Structure formats: structure tokens, C-alpha cells
Amino acid sequence: MDALTPLGGAEFASPHTYLNTAGCGLLPRRTVEAVKALADQNAVGRPDGLGSHASIEAARALFARLAGVGPDRVALGATVSAHVALIAASLPAGAEVLYPEGDFSSLISPFTVRGDLKTRSAPLDALADAVRPGTALVAFSAVQSADGRVADLAAVRQAAAAHGARTLLDATQSAGWLPLDAGAYDYTVTGAYKFLLCPRGAVFLTVTEEAQEPLVPLHAGWFAGEEPYDCYGPVQRFAAGARRFDEGPVFHAYHGAEQSLTLLDEIGIDTVNAHATALAARFRSGLAGLGYEPVAGDSAIVAVPGLGARQPELAAAGILTAARDGNLRAAFHLYNGDADVERALAVLAG
């Protein structure tokens, strides 16, 4: 078995064994430098301190490349729930929304709070079978936050297509290690501060051209206009593509996002996928050898039901994981290696 050493070189310098990317990714050195540079320029009143539109558009283009769509299909925002709320608002009263049991609140709540939609849940492994005539939208995460299970993406897409339902994929826990084909879904939402290694405040929405029609840019500001600096009075002409759904960008976050997404583009998502899932498989194997029963699968996120109480013990030993829904959750990414697996297993063995 080949040894797995961290990727990314000098970009990462955590003093810990960091296995909590499913909570928040580590910022690459180049990203930190970009955010600091903008803050320093802002602090002394330099013109560059206002933020660069070139960086905003570079981040949009880089995410589009990663997601397999054109930049005109990508909108920018600051929170996943704001993007989901835009989609929820577009549905007619009485429309049925189907989602997996226990999926993340930011994906589900914008639909349930409306009060005039039919919302229904099903077990993740039965989600495709639960799509039925009259289902308007299937909203689901590619990878579950609580336990790392990966949805049967193809089966859900096929079931939705068979019943004329639109699809909304949350790629927050998958983009960055699992290849994303955003064009295969009507909508995708992605919080970029986890496996995409971006600062908080960078969130991406993708919308197919067909699915754009029913959406109304409810949070439209000056940035959503075709001419952003024509910014007095109502927006007269919205951007033709998905940029009409932009929120005003968090410039510091997107200056950093440009750098993080560049790094991932240099390394390649397929390379990250092979690396992270191999480490996760070794961790699962080691856990089984200790008598534990981790959630099965090929995910970069490993969960052990009932073991969440060991999280503080691991943290005291310098191994950062998470406790979610009673599970001990460890997430592997490009900056992890075999030594991280061995350290975590050694503590759990004790």
C-alpha cells in the first residue's frame, strides 16, 4: 500500500491533526495573504482597498470551471440559505418539495417556513423511489453533513426527470473532493468554506438557463444589474445570465476564494478525490480493526455512530474532529496524510 502524504506543499501549516474540513476548511497561505492585502489596503484608504471586480469575476469563472458550467450560469452570494430562499420563493403555493430525512437545515428551512408548500421527507437511500407525480422539486445534499453518506445522484436525477420534477443539489459537503457536474441539476448551491477552502462569505449558486425563468431576483442590488455602476434608482436592466441573482459580494471572501479555487484547479479535483477517499478508507479499516462500525461508503467524510463523546479526548490530543448527531465525524482532504490516520486511531485505541 503506497504511503499517502499531504498535498499542497507549503500552502498549509496547521500545528494540529486537522480532520474537521466538513466543519471548516483550512485556508491556504496564498488565500490568507490575499485577504490580508485587501484589509491592509482598506485600512490606509488606498483605492485598491475597495475590492477588485476582477477578483470577483475570476472566482466566478474558477468555480464555473470546477462545476462544469459557463460563468454565465453562476451567481454569487454570502449564505446557502439566501440562495435556497430564492428558489423557495419561486414555487407556487401547494407545490411539493421532497428532501432527505435529516438533511441540513439551511437547505430545508426556506421551504418549510413558507407554510403554503407541501414538504415531504424520505430516507436518503429511498429518495429516488419517493419521487412521485406532482413532486415539483427534489432538494438534497450530495453528501450528508451528519454522517458523510453520498446520495445516489444518478438515481435521483433519473427519478426527477421521469416525474417532471426540478432538482436542487447542495454541494457544500462535496465540492472540492467529489467532482461536480452542476449542469446536470436545475440548481446547485455550494458554501465554499469547507472543501473548497475559501473564506466564509463565498457561496455559489448555479442555475440552468431553463430553470432561470421562474426565479425572481428578490434580493437584487446594484451588483445584479447589467451595468453594475448604473446604481441609482431601480435596476433598469438585470444581467442576462445568473449574475442577476448575485448578492453584493463580500469582497474579502472572494479575494480569498480566487486564490483557493486556483490552488484546487492546479491540483485537480480528481487528484484530491483519490487522495481523500483513500485516507478515509484507511481510517474506516483501522476503526473496524478496533471493533468500531463506521458508516460504510466511499466518502471523504467518516462517521462512527455513538462515538461523538470521544471528540473532546481527540481534541485534547491535538486531533480536531467533530461530534454531529451522536457521531464522531472525521473529514479528510488534500492536506491530510497517513500520519493523521495513525494519530487518530492511536488515540481511539487507547
Residue by residue, DSSP assigns 22-79 as TT-PPPPHHHHHHHHHHHHHHHTT-GGGG--HHHHHHHHHHHHHHHTS-GGGEEEES-
Average pLDDT, the chain: 95
- Distance, in Å, from the CA atom of 242 to the CA atom of 220, rounded to the nearest integer, reads 12
The b-or-e profile of 218-228 (16+ CB within 10 A means b, else e) is: ebbeebbbeeb
- Distance, in Å, from the CA atom of 242 to the CA atom of 115, rounded to the nearest integer, reads 27
Query: Residues in the chain with pLDDT < 50?
Result: none
Cα–Cα distance list, 80 to 31, 47, 95, 140, 141 (Å): 21, 31, 21, 13, 12
Question: What is the structure's pLDDT at 136?
Answer: 98
The model scores a pTM over 0.85: yes
Question: What is the structure's pLDDT at 224?
Answer: 87
Question: What is the structure's pLDDT at 49?
Answer: 61
Cα–Cα distance list, 71 to 196, 197, 260 (Å): 17, 20, 17
Q: What are the chain's domains? A: 9-28+268-349 (3.90.1150.10), 38-266 (3.40.640.10)
- Distance, in Å, from the CA atom of 98 to the CA atom of 121, rounded to the nearest integer, reads 6
C-alpha dihedral (135, 139, 142, 143), degrees to nearest 10: -120
